[in-house]
Structure 1
């Protein structure tokens, strides 16, 4: 019988990284896996550890989700250069292994929960648990196949070291993902969302997976149809009735439009509250000050800043401009959340919207003497932008006024990370219907999103894939979808080159003239794999 420490050490051998902190704590005991996971309590803990692993994927570094796109680029803070500019992208580039390592950690945990499902003390909830971890395993593989293409399909719990892996095709990986999710549909709870995977979350992921596969050359003929059907099941007649501002209000993370999220709480990070929380609020804004602002403003990294293109997408009257950006920064930043009557507060910085006239500017300054007025066109990170504190637009939708101040790679927020929400599902349906040739139906879904934002309906004449990507940008800015959106739709090279001043089409050209669309298989994975015939992606050979 193997100790838990011995079993989990295999992940270190295979993937070149340590096992998750929440499981390392189990190593302090002398209890075997067979003994611990055979109990209801032990098996429940194992399943819960699968959820905790999501924090390593979504709560930490966002580069593989957002860098190198049309919406964000670096300012004073540098990003991993390969992922953000493509010219230095190779198998050893910084952070290129992020989803590979954390994806396979998640898969190994799911495989262990599936392995022990029929060995543990049987309970009615075990079938539900099994469906939940199948969803989580499918989600990990979905992130992997989008990022790297075909990857090893590891579906069994690894108890002895395996030193050589074969590479499955992307087609095989997609088929496995869909099979897993279809199986999970009959196992998970059909109740309302409470933090655990339910049927609606599975249907939502199936919609996204079918939509993504539909663009591949091995797509099934009904992928777009299934994407639309699953998305409509998730929507189920539910309207977008929560205002944009309330949607992102701190403390409202479990609102009725959330389909699946990564859960946090003050208690869950109490072991190290200055390090192991959510990092999402750290990005998408300029530096606001050092430790002297502790308790008054969040730490911002000064990278992944909204591009001019991203800012230009918003029009007058779009409520998402104000729910997304901190357009008025008070002397104490967090007073925006902590003080109900903003009229009593002094505005320190104002960030002008595109639609302000000269008269609007004069009037605003007259009403706010002493304000630092940031004119439109000076708050996006072009090469000549000032590197002063507070110089660029601040994305506020992830702010946590209860978080500690901690810089670097520390995460201190206890807000949930929203992975899937209803407006995204509406836009998935819009895209699927457009590609099915039913533009009218797709436009109806998209205009439901615009109606909540209080902007005019789009018309059939302008409704195309670029309009959908623009709408996804307005609605989902900062929500870890963008690289996947551009890659899925075949728009990555075109739009990143057109709207990110650090990127040109030549940056994407790799070995043999192949384009760097997929990320390279990490060098550490190739080095550890004794199958030396395991192929690298073509652009990196």
Structure 2
């Protein structure tokens, strides 16, 4: 079996803690081997597998979102290699992030699979192993999309392995599907909102994404798209999109009926080390909102929406106001007996919202001069003394080249955490869940799968369910193509750690990123060997530490 070296950090990094995903523990100095051979100890081991998701999703999101058509840097530099491609090399910053964290997840699952054969046998052993193998499949799916073929590691490694061989992408997909087939046959059916564990719906959802993605590959099977459609429909299970879009991401509502799978956090359990044990999702996709004295959330000025992303929305689309903080409000807040004017957070916290003043307003694309006049007249009494009106076209990522001030790109509010564990001056910390899979996306997966399988009418029905919930007119069959689906995914899923994978899957990365990201030109993708940088490079540290030097780098590097 092909293996990867321990020196990548497969077992060295300690797991983040949370109340939902219980960590491994030593059971009061009882050796781990003895602990895991008991039913209770084995359950703790399985629970710890979930916690490794925090290492994959909880940190910097560059490998998920940077260098796409939807987001570009504002005034804060992003890693140049991942965001612009011209400087992308195997030693570039953050290239190894997913490689390391996914293999940490894989090694944790391999340990679980091993102990499942020697632990106390109970009726739910296969259920627990199914949950773990879903997590391993998810890690390999992220790896194969990002880096192409990678080593398949299925052993519980306890001693360093210093030489490893690269499997093909086709082999990795075969392993992913094997893990998911086992999971589907064995995991439970309890509601995710109730149990917080992998269930059959989550497995069906991931199988749909895997078959859809493999279908685009040269080694894809003839029935991949039809299987993707069938698995997506199984995950949908007839459920309509009944929750209003603004409620999907309302703080405190992360475990709603449309959440299929997520990385779960809990404020109380991260209090021992909040700056490390929370996540950074809310920190990105916005402008910097001012210093700590404003009381506003700390934001990075990275991954700011492009003109293309902002222009996707039409009048009446409920996702516009639910996705973006179109008005930045100010109001009084009292802390330790001291009252001062706070920016942004009063939107969530104020007991008297009618009294709040508007500091910034971002005009939507569809506003006419008459609309502006009407808005200013209707809101005259609400305007702060330092009010700024941002016209359409003057608050995208690229506008920072012209006017580089706080609040001069529109904030994304979907991931806001108005009850953070630390003050904004401490750093970017959120204990909101990171939603990995939700029903709205599953409808769009089904739409794409049916289109690619040659059944566009059914695919259009799935897509129009998403548009119905958004409050906009149905798309027509004449409009329905991959570009339209990518636009709809942009509207529905902005910021949700999907975009680079969407463009890579559909073969549109080069064209769309170079057309819509002001930092990227098509020539940026051309590598030293004349081939395009479609995959990310195998990290240089992986190549350096491997004693088997017959390990090919990806094209372009």
**Residue 345 (structure 1) aligned with residue 356 (structure 2):** yes
**Residue 513 (structure 1) aligned with residue 507 (structure 2):** no
- Are 1:279 and 1:411, in contact at CA under 8 Å, matched by a contact in 2? yes
Q: How does 1:112-191 map to 2 (within 5 A)?
A: 112-191=111-190
Residues 482-535 of structure 1: CA deviation (Å, up to 9, x unaligned): 000000000000000000010011000002211000000001011111110011
CA 130–16 in structure 1, closer or farther in 2 if over 3 Å, else same: closer
CA 408–436 in structure 1, closer or farther in 2 if over 3 Å, else same: farther
**Residue 374 (structure 1) aligned with residue 373 (structure 2):** no
CA 379–14 in structure 1, closer or farther in 2 if over 3 Å, else same: closer
**Residue 37 (structure 1) aligned with residue 36 (structure 2):** yes
- Are 1:112 and 1:157, in contact at CA under 8 Å, matched by a contact in 2? yes
Q: Which residue of 1 aligns with 2:13?
A: 19
Structure 2 residue aligned with 1:358, among 369, 388, 402? Answer: 369
Q: Which residue of 2 aligns with 1:254?
A: 255
Displacement of 1:27 in angstroms is: 7.4
Q: How does 1:498-537 map to 2 (within 5 A)?
A: 498-537=515-554
Q: Which residue of 1 aligns with 2:232?
A: 231
Structure 2 residue aligned with 1:451, among 438, 457, 468? Answer: 468
CA–CA distance in structure 2, aligned partners of residues 28 and 228 of structure 1: 45
Q: Which residue of 1 aligns with 2:99?
A: 100
- Are 2:298 and 2:428, in contact at CA under 8 Å, matched by a contact in 1? no
CA 474–341 in structure 1, closer or farther in 2 if over 3 Å, else same: farther
- Which consecutive unaligned segments of at least 5 residues does structure 2 have? 18-22, 331-342
Displacement of 1:195 in angstroms is: 1.3
CA 60–121 in structure 1, closer or farther in 2 if over 3 Å, else same: same
CA–CA distance in structure 2, aligned partners of residues 29 and 258 of structure 1: 36
Count the aligned residue pairs.
Answer: 529
- Are 2:127 and 2:187, in contact at CA under 8 Å, matched by a contact in 1? yes
CA 130–446 in structure 1, closer or farther in 2 if over 3 Å, else same: same
Name the SS for the 1:418 alignment partner. Answer: strand
Residues 217-252 of structure 1: CA deviation (Å, up to 9, x unaligned): 000111000000000111111000110111111111
Q: Which residue of 2 aligns with 1:72?
A: 71
- Are 2:324 and 2:411, in contact at CA under 8 Å, matched by a contact in 1? yes
CA–CA distance in structure 2, aligned partners of residues 501 and 400 of structure 1: 30
Displacement of 1:22 in angstroms is: 4.6
- Which consecutive unaligned segments of at least 5 residues does structure 1 have? 1-9
CA 180–475 in structure 1, closer or farther in 2 if over 3 Å, else same: same
Residues 258-301 of structure 1: CA deviation (Å, up to 9, x unaligned): 000111111221211233212110000011122223xx421110
- Are 1:264 and 1:414, in contact at CA under 8 Å, matched by a contact in 2? yes
Residues 51-76 of structure 1: CA deviation (Å, up to 9, x unaligned): 00001111111000000000000011
Q: How does 1:292-371 map to 2 (within 5 A)?
A: 292-293=293-294, 296-331=295-330, 332-339=343-350, 342-366=353-377, 367-368=379-380, 369=383, 370=385, 371=387
Name the SS for the 1:539 alignment partner. Answer: coil
CA–CA distance in structure 1, aligned partners of residues 16 and 460 of structure 2: 45
CA–CA distance in structure 2, aligned partners of residues 406 and 467 of structure 1: 41
Name the SS for the 1:372 alignment partner. Answer: strand
Q: Which residue of 2 aligns with 1:421?
A: 438
- Are 1:298 and 1:405, in contact at CA under 8 Å, matched by a contact in 2? no
- Are 1:11 and 1:17, in contact at CA under 8 Å, matched by a contact in 2? no
Q: Which residue of 1 aligns with 2:492?
A: 475
Displacement of 1:18 in angstroms is: 3.8
Displacement of 1:25 in angstroms is: 8.2
Once structures 1 and 2 are overlaid, which stretch shifts more, 456-465 or 266-275?
A: 266-275
Displacement of 1:26 in angstroms is: 4.9
Name the SS for the 2:260 alignment partner. Answer: strand
CA–CA distance in structure 2, aligned partners of residues 413 and 115 of structure 1: 34
CA–CA distance in structure 2, aligned partners of residues 399 and 390 of structure 1: 15
- Are 2:298 and 2:427, in contact at CA under 8 Å, matched by a contact in 1? no
CA–CA distance in structure 1, aligned partners of residues 361 and 533 of structure 2: 39
TM-score, normalised via structure 1 length: 0.94
- Are 1:195 and 1:262, in contact at CA under 8 Å, matched by a contact in 2? no
- Are 1:275 and 1:410, in contact at CA under 8 Å, matched by a contact in 2? no
Displacement of 1:257 in angstroms is: 0.4
